[in-house]
A and B are shown apart, each in its own frame.
Chain A
Amino acid sequence: MSKGVLVDTTRCIGCRSCQIACKAWHDLEARYKPSNGTYTSPEKLSADCYTLIEFFDKKTGDQPSWKFVKEQCLHCQDPACASACPVGALKKTPEGPVIYDQWLCIGCRYCMLACPFQIPKYEWDTTNPWVQKCNFCASRVASDMAPACVKACPMDVMYFDDYDKIAQEAERRINNFPGKYVNHIYGFREAGGTSWMYIADRPFRKLGFNTDVSDKPYPALTWKPSLSKILWEEAGLLAVLGGILYLRNRRNHEEGKK
């Protein structure tokens, strides 16, 4: 059964328990970096940071109101990275997580370019580098346990359940609390649908979300205009080349026989 997570950004208090839980569960090194004028820390996802809380200093009416947005891989239903990878190192599992196989990977980094959300990160400083990103705690999810971050959250920001129930729950909340949320479930349509979805009290563009993302699944972008046709094009090319070769070389051939 495919799983999903609904992130209700209005509930988050920015305590970063999820960040810590993620580091702990995946045994990732925590690095100390001095603040750089922002409370988001570290500032960006990286090979040893699969998830982070982005801090937004916003206003509601004339009152200051901080907004906190959890960032991690959205686990597309039909992921761009998986279609981009030449060796199938990234794939979508039936349970929902998009996982990575470091033994297959050649390190071409096309997945990093292909991802519409800029999620895959690279271990630049080793001689055997891996691509790193949130793996939806695939081993936990496979045995029906909630991901580490979900488990750690004190505010119940994340709702982990079957994929179908996620969207229903999002709709239920939007309908039950008129005025509280904007009527947009981020991830319901984005990139053809993602296993993680978000609801928020203001337009997603203002919360740092990429709203230029296409609603269609990304793999079709390379498959439809190019890859699906290539064999036919090659066959056509072969026919044309053969034809030209025959017509243009007929004379010589006859001469050669003499």
Chain B
Amino acid sequence: MNGKGSEHYRFFTLRTWILLGLAVFGAIVALYRLAVGLGPATNLSDSTPWGLWIAFDVTTGVALAAGGFTVTFAAYVANWDKFKPIARAATLTAFLGYLLVVFGVFLDIGKPFAIWHPIFFWQPGSVMFEIVICISLYTLVLFLEFLPWLLNRLNVLTGVRDFLEKRSVLFTLVILGIMLSYGHQSSLGGLFLITPAKLHPLWYTQFIHHLFFLSAVCVGLSMVSCETIVSANMRNKEHETGILDGLARGTSIALLVYFLFRIGDLAIKGNLGAMFEGSLQSGLFLVEMGVGVVIPMLLLASKSIRASIPALLASHGMVIFGVVLNRFNVVFLTESNMGAAAYFPSWQEFAITVGLVSAGLFLYKLIVTYLPIFTPAEQKT
């Protein structure tokens, strides 16, 4: 486990070039979107005001980046030594994830250059306000957690670096990060509290914000697991079975809590029957809960599954699929009750989404190659 080892492999492989190409193409399309406005660049309309960008780049992106606060909780707050080696990687993924989310928001809002307004014009009665503020602050927190590694490498501003690396400062940032994450992860669900008649009762509940938070915890752990497996493959390292086992158990427990909460809530409202009504919605619900929650929950509870890397990847993949589907369902089922027009994203919307993801992967690769992300140096804590 020597960080220097990561510099041995070639940075510019074919895959890296492809990622870079897609990112550049996305950037060109983004310029086009800024030049012509939302109408020509997207298939959004008055009956589908939110599309792929909100559903995937923002709502899903934030959930997928939840690994940052879950792992820093385990590694620093709960002080589980096992998770310390991946704390940096998880923080980095979250940081990049949030950068992409912020960029996605920038492109999605109608007046991109007014994106700073909520910082000055407060409206504390708005869920959207809370989300914007929490996401901005959390991105800043992640940046401050990331900064020392960069400064270390560049060997500049060592005073700032030493300050940020102080135990008290780091722990303050970690705790702030968890609090801010709770605030906006839940509030992304809270957005839909105001659409009771539009969102199908299998999804609508006055606890939807809590469900969003719980599912973010599940998918955050799954994302970190996949990342740990894939990055070990990339660097030709032994798999960290101890960490993976811990993450898998955590995911399974988190899924159980989510499952009980969601089913319990439906049962109390007397809506359990709706899942068997045979409609499109009930089908989507069954896939979401079956493939995304119940099956991986059972799989990850089994010791032999947890010992097998392919089975782990498959199970965590299902969790990720389930949460992506959940976010899409919530956004688009709400909108399906807002008017007749069917929505399918334009190629520009796809190009920008793919470009953002590629840019994220590219930056990730760049950073893990040149910065000591996988060096368990901070184990000293």
Interface of A toward B, CB cutoff 8 Å: 44-47, 80, 83-88, 104-110, 112-114, 116, 118, 121-129, 210, 212-214, 218-219, 221-223, 225-227, 230, 233-234, 237-238, 241-242, 244-245, 248-249, 252
Contacts and interface: CB of A to CB of B under 8 A. Distances in A.
A116 B175 contact: no
Given A109-B50, A122-B110, A221-B196, A87 B117 contact: yes
B125 A227 contact: yes
Contact of A222 (B35, B73, B127, B183): B127
B126 interface: yes
B298 interface: no
The number of chain B residues touching the other chain, given as a range, is 35 or more
B110 A214 contact: no
Contacts of B123: 85-88
A226 B209 contact: yes
Interface string B101-123: 00000001111001101100111
B195 A113 contact: yes
Contacts of B108: 108
A223 B182 contact: no
| Residue in A45, A126, A221, A244 with the greatest tally of chain B CB atoms within 10 Å | A221
Contact of A122 (B46, B79, B128, B209): B46
A252 B79 contact: yes
B194 interface: yes
B339 A106 contact: no
The 9 A-B residue pairs with the shortest CB-CB distance, nearest first, are A107-B110, A124-B39, A86-B129, A125-B39, A86-B128, A248-B79, A212-B197, A109-B49, A88-B123
A47 B110 CA distance: 14
B328 interface: no
B334 A84 contact: no
Contacts of A113: 49-50, 191, 194-195, 198, 334-335, 338
9 contacts: A88-B126, A105-B114, A109-B110, A118-B338, A125-B39, A219-B125, A222-B126, A225-B190, A234-B182
Contacts of B115: 106
Contacts of B37: 124-127, 129
Given A106-B118, A225-B190, A230-B130, 17 more contacts: A80-B194, A83-B126, A84-B194, A85-B128, A87-B121, A88-B122, A106-B117, A109-B110, A113-B191, A122-B38, A122-B49, A124-B37, A127-B35, A129-B111, A221-B196, A233-B182, A242-B175
A100 to B, nearest CB: 13
A248 B130 CA distance: 31
A182 B175 CA distance: 58
Given A85-B126, A227-B130, A234-B182, A127 B34 contact: yes
Contacts of A128: 111
Contacts of B197: 116, 210, 212-214
Contacts of B39: 124-126
B46 A44 contact: yes
B117 A222 contact: no
B159 interface: no
Given A84-B127, A107-B114, A124 B190 contact: no
B169 interface: no
A214 B78 CA distance: 44
B217 interface: no
B178 interface: yes
A241 B77 contact: yes
Contact of B111 (A46, A86, A107): A107
A228 to B, nearest CB: 9
B78 A248 contact: yes
Given A226-B190, A252-B79, A245 B114 contact: no
Contacts of B209: 225-226
Nearest to A44: B46
Contacts of A212: 197
B359 to A, nearest CB: 23
Contacts of B122: 88
B207 interface: yes
B187 interface: yes
A237 B179 contact: yes
B367 interface: no
A227 B127 contact: yes
Contacts of A86: 117-118, 123, 126, 128-129, 131-132
B381 interface: yes
A213 B337 CA distance: 13
A205 to B, nearest CB: 13
B45 interface: yes
B206 A106 contact: no
Contacts of A219: 125, 194
A244 to B, nearest CB: 5
Given A234-B182, A234-B183, A227 B194 contact: no
